[in-house]
Chains A and B, each alone.
Chain A
Amino acid sequence: MSEILELNHQIETTAVSENLFFACYTDDVPQNGGACVKYKDTQIAIFNFTRRGEWYATQNLCPHKQQMALSRGMIGSTGHDCEPKVACPFHKKTFSLKSGDCLSGDDYSIKIYPVLIEEGKVYIRIDK
């Protein structure tokens, strides 16, 4: 844990230009599932889409009922283009992991963050 904090510190000081935040190690996030990380006062959901070899990050808050729950949701794909998505565990509202758009026909959308994987570490790009 202290190692992570230390690394965070390093990144925050050395990679400021890239706005990269070291979130966790790749094996902290379950395969084909999600986990939540804390960045200052923000909760970010990270998804390890092992099946597609892809990583995604979104806000952890489901805008439907304001629940911090998206990281506990199931991921999958929809449609011919296999749009990657996550379903909120509360009421199964689904959101595109690429665009953040709600795919269940509601107006709201979620914030998405670019993810970078390097040497077993998961970095998230935060816009300052």
Chain B
Amino acid sequence: MVAKNKKNIVIIGNGMVGYKFCEKIIAKSDDFNLIVFGEEPRRAYDRVHLSEYFNGKTAEDLSMSPANWYQENHITLHLSDPVLEINRQNKTVHSQKGILQPYDYLVLATGSSAFVPNIPGVEKEGVFVYRTIEDLELMKNYALKAKKGAVMGGGLLGLEAAKALLDLGIAETHVIEFAPRLMPRQVDSAGSKLLQNKLQDLGLQIHLNKSTSEIVGDGKIEALAFNDDTQLELDMLVISAGIRPRDELAKLSGLEVGTRGGILVNEKLQTSDPNIFAIGECALYKDMIYGLVAPGYEMAEVVAANICRQEKYFYGFDMSTKLKLIGVDVASFGDAFVTEPEGRTIVFEDTHKGIYKRINITNDGKYLLGGILIGDADAYNILLQTINNKIILPPNPEDLILGSRGGETDGGAGVMSLPDDALICSCEAVTKGMICSAVSDGTASSIDDIKKCTKAGTGCGGCVPLVKDLITGTMQENGVYIKNVICEHFDYSRQELLDLIKLNKIKDYDTALDHFGKGDGCEVCKPAIANILAGVWNDLILKQDTIQDSNDRFLANIQKGGTYSVVPRIPGGEITPEKLIVIGQVAQKYNLYTKITGGQRIDLFGAHLSDLPAIWEELIDAGFESGHAYGKSLRTVKSCVGSTWCRFGLQDSVSFAIEVEDRYKGLRSPHKLKGGVSGCIRECAEAQSKDFGIIATEKGYNLYVCGNGGSKPQHALLLAADIDKETCIKYLDRFLMFYVRTADPLTRTATWLNKMEGGITYLKNVIINDSLGIAEELEAAMHYHVDTYKCEWKAAIENPEMRKRFAHFVNAPEEKDPTVKFAPMREQVKAEAW
């Protein structure tokens, strides 16, 4: 295994950082023999998520690597075998089991141990530290018979340990902290107070300003005695009062160590012996021990690089952190404690929901310095990025923690605005550029792909939300246009095509295809452009019948079996007995099935294609018009009976519904349109489930928009209240035309609004306040539509050329399709099953 011609790197310590060093060095070079000595009996495991051991995760789950990883990578691993001695003269290490191992480079990754303060009684049974899986196993066994437990230390690890006690089923768990607040290194007093409340709600009892004088008990712990002469009865105690770097071996070998512990290192993480490096929690860089995993990984990278003769230095590390403590989000980043005059502070506190947010900004308000988030730390990643990349703050920095309000767009910097070299995953040193290019070149399209190809998000996992945003953002940048373009023949959205067609005065499909498209078109772009042309020029759709969907081409709805259904317009659902009789007669004559529709009109089914002109001729003679049931256009405006008959009615809803239906009939839109008018708040016309709904009030009308029935019901939203009829029509003109102009094909008003940035507030601004300055033009366009409306069926039956198209066989126009078959049903007919 140990090749003679290669240099030896000996790694002492098989924790997370020692493991990471191995991973880094084998990725860079295979010129070295790697020999690892570990004191613990198992392979390196994830200490950050140690408390999950009590949540059902096994030691194997927590392991950093598969069982055969060391073997596969030709790494010699000695477990349960601590190194006792380093001979720097001979460049060898001596292990407990008696191995004498020569080294060329030596990496100390000995980590830290729990700091146990010198309190009388610490040796008693029932007193634990919280550091290794072995510690956890000891705690687990002892906890079976314990009812009251406490953690000494209210820092990050202490609270983790308290969670472990809760998980172990200790009913009464206390946290004892010497300082006046919890997590004194990360959180300020206000934040601590809120955190304390949250943790107390979760069943933890918190004691601050408590200094322990003695651990009382006969052989095993029975109580804690404090300096203020109080006592707390206990069955077990976990000490989590900080960490102590494991520097004893280094000290023994004559390496320089700090006065308060830690192996002294330079920017290359070299100790006072240039062939010996120290990384992780045992290393002391500029008077600082880095007790987090991310800086440890960075140190591993720097040493691996330097051994491979790359130039890389360690210049300290951001100690920002975000974690979930017993279900409570806590984050602390940048300079969390800056106060005046060095900077300014913005604080948001919601004791009801248990949220505390603080950001510190420069005096000029331009840059973010740091902050604290408790209860809701979703903004952590982006705030940290804002600091690290020195992004200029928006004019209202409070938006960063309050979110966008009042329908305005996002105040903070979006992930996509970060520079390419922004470090997204600090554990694995993955930048935004690396993630985005993996998405752009097609290597990755999901968080799992990114984890595989860049390792981002595989360390502490804190960056995962940010990585996800980057994946979506990049895909949107590359792809949303592809999704929004009409089809393979046109690289434009519907809105863009509408503008192009209008500006260039395009009147037919082929010209549009020649100018703005490619290929020969298809069943997607043809009807979409037909719809735009009809909307812009309001010309008869039958002039270009072959670009229409079958329903529009034959001005009827194709149904099962190849027959069509006929729906004459019955505005507002009001119909005379005479007209009802005509419908009955037509249905009898052409053997049609009749049914009342959901939109208060009558549908006639089972018409042969060749019968359609004759059917319509009779209907039009009786005063009917096309109901546009076949088109992406206004269907019906449903009404209740209103004040003319109803004893509750406030306004004449039927008359208004008829007026509105007559006004917008034939309007071609991205999708079908439905309206409703109710005469009072009882809302019998169900106007709030329509694309536009009008509800009468004492003073006039309330106008609702963008509701939907169908598969995804959605209530319409109030656009304007207590307006008169004229204003209502004016707003409706603007609203409908704005929708026609800007929605994607086959998008109902509800979906259109859901996708609209700024939502109903924005829509109100456009329609009522004319924020885009287009109201006049929208109204003019609607007036043009109203003035140029023609009944398509009337035009069709009056034109022999058009009429000719309603034949099944062009070489036998009188013959009907012989394959059409009906089956009897309740005295009428139905189509035969497929």
Contact = CB atoms under 8 A, between A and B. Distances in A.
Interface of A: 1, 4, 8, 23-24, 28-38, 43, 46, 49, 51-52, 65-69, 72-79, 82, 84-85, 87, 89-90, 92, 94
Contacts of B558: 69, 72, 89-90
Contacts of A23: 810-811
6 contacts: A32-B546, A36-B808, A37-B811, A37-B812, A82-B520, A89-B558
Contacts of A24: 810-811
Contacts of B519: 76-78, 82
A28 B808 CA distance: 12
- A-B complex: 8 closest residue pairs judged by Cβ atoms: A33-B546, A89-B550, A76-B522, A87-B523, A77-B520, A74-B523, A28-B810, A35-B810
B805 A1 contact: no
A121 to B, nearest CB: 11
Contact of A67 (B522, B561, B813): B561
A35 B813 CA distance: 11
B487 to A, nearest CB: 9
A124 B421 CA distance: 66
B526 interface: yes
Contact of A65 (B520, B546, B834): B834
Nearest to B513: A51
B562 A29 contact: no
B811 A49 contact: no
B554 A76 contact: no
Given A1-B813, A23-B811, A38-B812, A76 B550 contact: no
Nearest to B519: A77
Contact of A36 (B520, B522, B561, B809): B809
Interface in B776-834: 805, 808-813, 815, 817, 819-820, 834
Contacts of A77: 519-522
Interface residues of B, number: 35
B547 interface: yes
B810 A36 contact: yes
B43 interface: no
B554 A51 contact: no
B811 A76 contact: no
Nearest to A28: B810
Contact of A38 (B488, B546, B553, B809): B809
A87 B561 CA distance: 17
Contacts of B489: 76
B527 interface: yes
A41 B811 CA distance: 13
B819 A89 contact: no
B813 to A, nearest CB: 7
A23 to B, nearest CB: 6
B545, B561, B808: most-surrounded residue (chain A CB, <10 A): B808
Interface in B544-561: 545-547, 549-551, 553-554, 558, 561
B510 interface: yes
A94 B525 CA distance: 14
B522 A74 contact: yes
Contacts of A75: 520, 546
Contacts of B808: 36, 68
A23 B513 CA distance: 30
A83 B522 CA distance: 11
B364 to A, nearest CB: 56
Interface of B: 488-489, 510, 513, 519-523, 525-527, 545-547, 549-551, 553-554, 558, 561-562, 805, 808-813, 815, 817, 819-820, 834
A76 B520 contact: yes
Contacts of B812: 1, 37-38
B609 to A, nearest CB: 8
B813 A76 contact: no
Given A36-B809, A38-B812, 10 more contacts: A23-B810, A32-B510, A37-B812, A52-B520, A68-B562, A75-B520, A76-B525, A85-B522, A89-B549, A89-B551
A72 B488 contact: no
A31 B817 CA distance: 22
A66 B834 CA distance: 7
Nearest to A84: B520
B546 A69 contact: no
A51 B520 contact: yes
B805 A30 contact: yes
Contacts of A8: 811
A78 B522 contact: yes
Nearest to B488: A78
Nearest to B526: A74
A88 to B, nearest CB: 9
A75, A76, A79: most-surrounded residue (chain B CB, <10 A): A76
Contacts of B810: 23-24, 28-29, 35-37, 46
Contacts of B553: 72
A90 B557 CA distance: 10
B815 A38 contact: yes
A78 B527 CA distance: 16
B534 to A, nearest CB: 16
Contacts of A29: 810
A35 B609 CA distance: 12
Nearest to A69: B562
Nearest to A29: B810
A94 B811 contact: no
A78 B819 CA distance: 31
A90 B519 CA distance: 24
A42 B618 CA distance: 33
Nearest to A8: B811
B526, B810, B820: most-surrounded residue (chain A CB, <10 A): B810
